Amino acid sequence: MVTIEDLKNSLRIDHNFDDDLLQQLLDTAVQYVISAIDSKAEEGVIEAYQQFDWSVSLLTQHWYETRDTPNSDRMPVTVQAMIQQMRGLYYADH
């Protein structure tokens, strides 16, 4: 599971000013990735895939870094690719 400290280390943040924002973005990214695969998935199934934490972390970092950019409508290609991989794994298993 991705933590605020993980994100702050990746983003090289050494203050607590944005902790609430990071938590909101993190929570949203978790739900986004799960919903992109199967919003009705049993809890813990999708989160168990290796790609899950990394995709959530990258998506959260992207949203944080582009929070002031009004037309930031593109998701990182790496996140899209990992979601596709997890979707394939999920539907192969279910």
Do 46 and 33 touch, CB atoms closer than 8 A?
A: yes
E strand intervals along 1-94: none
Which pLDDT tens digit goes with each residue over 13-64?
A: 999 999 999 999 999 999 999 999 999 999 999 999 999 999 999 999 999 9
Determine the Cα angle at 70 with ends 67 and 73, to 5°: 85
Residue whose C-alpha is closest to residue 85's, from 93, 24, 30: 93
pTM for the full predicted model:
0.91
Domain positions in the chain: 4-93
